Amino acid sequence: KQDATLAPSVRRLEAESGVQAAGVDGSGKDGRVTKGDMLAAIERAAAAPTPVPQPASAVQVRAPSPADDAAREERVRMTKLRQTIARRLKDAQNTAAMLTTFNEVDMTAVIAMRNQYKDLFEKKHRVKLGFMGFFTRACVQALREVPAVNAEIDGSDLIYKNFYHIGVAVGTERGLVVPVVRDAQSKTLAEIEKTIADFGRRARDGQLKIEEMQGGTFTISNGGVYGSLMSTPILNAPQSGILGMHKTQERPVAIGGKVEIRPMMYLALSYDHRVVDGKEAVTFLVRVKECLEDPARLVLDL
């Protein structure tokens, strides 16, 4: 119910701003709230920091440092990007029943194919032949066979995506961003490599558009470029799966009863156990492994 003693201009400001006149000290006759009082109150509210509602357990409060330590500390405001990354990662942990399963892949065949064709590939397509194109194609093959990893939860429904928008995590000085290679199932290896190279350049220059980082159905994260041997990647919500690539390292492995030195990479699939069963997660990783250890499968769609 509106206060009949308020001037129409005050009521209008109250409706437009959300600031309630009842909480404003009035300077008018008999303590009435004037238009000027409202404008000043609105200005004060706009200048005040907006509280972000969080559960008490999520608000991290640190104990003050001893004076000697405090004098040598530097306090820096988190960037908006870093705050967004922090919030999304914590939301994913709090929401999904997250689990990680591992496998390893012998990179011998992919490395040999890359070495054989990299010069010809670059000459024809004007882009370097890396490993991300192979991994993207391998993931699409595996997602086709295990559609649950390409699905997401919507209330009590599961949404299965019959398209493959593959997010590729790119590290920048400002933080991690995940641009999306759309319809990767329809792109050639060269088109995928060009798209990823372009994303990498523009990500480092801060020129990616918001829409280029939205709509992904599955994500690949390559910690190997920084030397990571093994990790458990966190889901990129609301997606149900993320593949972690790692550094290729020569290791002794048993081949046909003999020990050989092979370039090996650990693979990690983190998945939402609410959507993906353990059998499906393992099947996905095995399919990725098979495609990379025998790259002809990618060409023959096997």
SS3 labels along 137-155: HHHHHHHHHCHHHHEEEEC
**Helix (H/G/I), strand (E/B), else coil: 43:** helix
Span 82-300 CATH architecture: 2-Layer Sandwich (3.30)
Q: In this structure, are residues 210 and 248 in contact, taking their beta carbons and an 8 Å threshold?
A: no
**How far is residue 232's CA from residue 218's CA, in Å, rounded to a whole number?**
15
- Average pLDDT value over all residues in the chain: 87
pLDDT in tens, 244-294: 999 999 999 999 999 999 999 999 999 999 999 999 999 999 999 999 999
Q: In this structure, are residues 151 and 275 in contact, taking their beta carbons and an 8 Å threshold?
A: yes
Q: Domain spanning 8-47 has what CATH number?
A: 4.10.320.10
Residue 50: per-residue pLDDT: 52
Q: 13-27, 67-81, 240-254: which range is least confident on average?
A: 13-27
Average pLDDT of 185-200?
Answer: 92
Pairing, β 98-106 against β 258-272: antiparallel
| 1: pLDDT strictly greater than 50 | no
Residue 49: per-residue pLDDT: 57
Residue 94: per-residue pLDDT: 84
Choose from 8-22, 71-85, 118-132, 199-213 the range with maximum mean pLDDT: 118-132
Residue ranges of the domains in the chain?
A: 8-47, 82-300
- CA neighbor of 169 nearest in space, from 161, 158, 178, 181: 178
List active site positions.
273, 277
The model scores a pTM over 0.85: no
Residue 106: per-residue pLDDT: 96
**Are domains 8-47 and 82-300 of this chain identical in fold?**
no
Residue 4: per-residue pLDDT: 62
The fraction of the chain above a pLDDT of 70, given in percent, is 93
Choose from 6-15, 140-149, 197-206 the range with maximum mean pLDDT: 140-149
Handedness of CA 232, 237, 240, 242 (dihedral sign): negative
Average pLDDT of 164-190?
Answer: 89
Phi, psi of 162 (to 5 degrees): -95, 40
